[in-house]
Amino acid sequence: MSFLSLTEQDREQMLEAIGVDSIDDLFEQIPAGVRLGRPLDLEPALSELELVAHLGELAARNVDTGREVSFLGAGIYDHYVPAVVDAMLARGEFLTAYTPYQPEMSQGLLQAIFEYQTAICELTGMDVSNASGYDGTTVAADACYVAKHATGRTKVVLAETLNPQVRQVVKTYAAGFGLDVVEVPHRDGTIDPDELRQAAAEAACVIFQQPNFFGCLEPAPDLATAAKDAGALPVAHVDPVSLGVLEAPGAYGCALAIGEGQQAGNYESYGGPHYGFLAARSEFIRRMPGRISGETVDTDGKRGFVLTLQTREQHIRREKATSNITTNQTLLALAGLIHLSWLGPQGLRELGETCLALSRYAKERMSDAGLELVFPDQATFKEFAVRVGRPAKEAVRDGRAAGIHPGYALGRDYAGLDDALLVAVTEKRTTDEVDRLVEVLVG
């Protein structure tokens, strides 16, 4: 209760200035029939010390990635977050500002968003990025909305190798958007371009993931071409930290590039808050959802930044808006910008090479130990699927008993893979840890 600033004397003076006798009088506009008339049934207030103890106790009942060696990925990854990210995000000006509606008050924030947009455009090879979406699932739904209006078509095609949660969210939104969703099955871990071309007939867009949910590298340029052949917009869902070594979606002809930003700058945080990024080629600028910072000049001709192209947005265009998004994920996107700036182009490439080399080491060690890779012929980035010779859930249980979380049991999402684990190897893992993982899996 230390968050209020009025004294008793303040309250009396204020009531007098208003011209009422009590605080209750202020609420007379609420009809008596709709008042609660009893205290809220909530537990008593906690002091700050009690609160810290209570939440400490809850936190202690979670096994975080500091308490076991984690090979768990499947969309959220145990990458290193540099100290500068924490330090800068703790600045109260960033933390406690809101959407920069008044640009003269928020030049720093608007510049940071502009720099973030630039970083996302550079990573993806696109012309324009928004200031962030909610996460890697909702930006896929956003992309479908852009594609529907850009093409006038009402079908969207999703690769079966697209993260199952992303597909689920697209299907949920599709009910409102009036879109039919078609899925293209994988063939041995990746999508066949010819099959995709057929499915993409009359489709507004095609969304595929690179690297895909299994960690495999899709023939992304061929998939983009296949989508375009059918008149559908190719949309790549990409891992931002892979883009130091993997080709940018803009370079192979994608119309939009989207993805989950957590890998760049955000902690796992039990799934959020994180940010989703959405970037597009310039022809889609006026169909973009969300906030966008743009460069302009002030009355002295000095460079400055403002929220721009707002006639797309809900507060101006209302029912004709390109999206209803208002509050976004700016602080998390700022973390992404800081992380990417910390890495630089060289660091990003090294990070990618490290993931590639460590995961190849893990695949080789597992093959040597007699474990079977699910898709042995496919190139991968930092994640891959391996059969463990028994229900994968058992391997998870045994690994965790030994202090290692060995990965994600794929049987939950894909038929025929009950014995398969999806293993993620980030730059935080070491060859020793991989060796321990192999020992645990072999038993």
Partner 1 sequence: MKLIYEKSKAGRRASSLPPQGLPPAEIPEELRRSSPPRLPEISEPELVRHFTALADRTFGVDTGFYPLGSCTMKHNPRVNERVVNLPGFRDLHPLQEEDASQGALELMWRLQEILAEIVGLPAVSLQPAAGSQGELTGLLLMRAYFADCGEGQERREIVIPDTAHGTNPASVTMAGYEAVGVKTDPRGNVDLDDLRGKVGPQTAGLMLTNPSTLGLFDEGIEEITKIFHQAGALMYYDGANLNAICGISRPGDFGFDIVHFNLHKTFSQPHGGGGPGGGPIAVRDRLEPFLPVPAVVREGGTFRLDYERPKTIGKVRGFCGPFGVFVRSYAYIRSYGPALKEMSEVAVLNANYLLARLRNAYELPFDRLCMHEFVLSGRRLKREHGVTTLDVAKRLMDYRFHPPTIYFPLIVPEALMIEPTETEPKETLDAFADAMLAIAREAAEQPELLKEAPHFRPVKRLDEVRAAKRPVLRYRFEEHEDLQPSDEPRQLEAQKGA
- Scanning residues 327 to 386, which ones bind partner 1 (CB under 8 A)? 327-332, 334, 338, 340-351, 353-354, 356-361, 379, 381
Determine the 3-state secondary structure of 381 from DSSP: coil
Nearer to partner 1, 248 or 437 (CB): 248
Report d(CA 381, CA 26) in Å as an integer. 62
Beta strand ranges found along 142-187 (DSSP E): 155-159, 180-184
Nearer to partner 1, 347 or 389 (CB): 347
Q: Which helix (H) or strand (E) holds 196?
A: helix 193-199
**Closest to 157 in 3D by CA, of 213, 122, 201, 126:** 201
x/- map, 170-189, partner 1, by CB under 8 A: -xxx-xxxx-----------
Nearer to partner 1, 203 or 337 (CB): 337
Contact in structure between 432 and 365 (CB atoms under 8 Å): no
Indicate the Cα dihedral angle 180, 314, 139, 270, nearest 10°: -120
Report d(CA 335, CA 82) in Å as an integer. 10
Which of 188, 231, 269, 390 lies at the binding interface for partner 1 (CB under 8 A)? Answer: 269
Angle at CA of residue 231, ends 225 and 235, nearest 5°? 60
Judged by CB under 8 A, the stretch of 64-72, 182-190, 200-208, 228-236 that binds partner 1 is 64-72
User: Closest distance between partner 1 and the C-beta of residue 165, in Å?
Assistant: 5
DSSP 390-423: S-HHHHHHHHHHTTEE--EEGGGTSTT-TTEEEE
Which of 201, 251, 401, 442 lies at the binding interface for partner 1 (CB under 8 A)? Answer: 251
Would residue 344 be called left, alpha or beta, if left means φ above 0 and alpha means ψ between -120 and 50 degrees? left
Which of 189, 197, 233, 260 lies at the binding interface for partner 1 (CB under 8 A)? Answer: 260
247: exposed, middle or buried (Cβ count in 10 Å: 0-12, 13-18, 19+): middle
User: Closest distance between partner 1 and the C-beta of residue 43, in Å?
Assistant: 6
Contact in structure between 263 and 277 (CB atoms under 8 Å): no
Which of 8, 43, 368, 377 lies at the binding interface for partner 1 (CB under 8 A)? Answer: 43
Determine the 3-state secondary structure of 359 from DSSP: helix
User: Closest distance between partner 1 and the C-beta of residue 443, in Å?
Assistant: 19
Nearer to partner 1, 231 or 295 (CB): 295
283: exposed, middle or buried (Cβ count in 10 Å: 0-12, 13-18, 19+): exposed
Residues 105-164 that bind partner 1 (CB under 8 A): 105-109, 111-115, 117-119, 121-123, 127-129, 131-132, 134-138, 145
Please give the size of the binding site for partner 1, defined by CB under 8 A: 205
Nearer to partner 1, 201 or 401 (CB): 401
User: Closest distance between partner 1 and the C-beta of residue 123, in Å?
Assistant: 5
The Cβ of residue 377 has, within 10 Å, a number of other Cβ atoms equal to 9
Which of 214, 408, 421, 440 lies at the binding interface for partner 1 (CB under 8 A)? Answer: 408
Judged by CB under 8 A, the stretch of 15-23, 152-160, 369-377, 383-391 that binds partner 1 is 15-23
Report d(CA 390, CA 420) in Å as an integer. 8
User: Closest distance between partner 1 and the C-beta of residue 291, in Å?
Assistant: 6
State both tokens at 392.
Answer: 């994968």
User: Closest distance between partner 1 and the C-beta of residue 2, in Å?
Assistant: 8
User: Closest distance between partner 1 and the C-beta of residue 204, in Å?
Assistant: 15
Determine the 3-state secondary structure of 361 from DSSP: helix
Residues 287-316 that bind partner 1 (CB under 8 A): 291-306, 308-311, 313-316
Judged by CB under 8 A, the stretch of 85-93, 192-200, 230-238, 366-374 that binds partner 1 is 85-93
Site for partner 1 contains 435 (CB under 8 A): no
x/- map, 202-221, partner 1, by CB under 8 A: ---------------x-xxx
Determine the 3-state secondary structure of 5 from DSSP: coil
Judged by CB under 8 A, the stretch of 80-88, 153-161, 188-196, 383-391 that binds partner 1 is 80-88
CA atoms within 13 A on the CB side of 196: 32
User: Closest distance between partner 1 and the C-beta of residue 171, in Å?
Assistant: 6
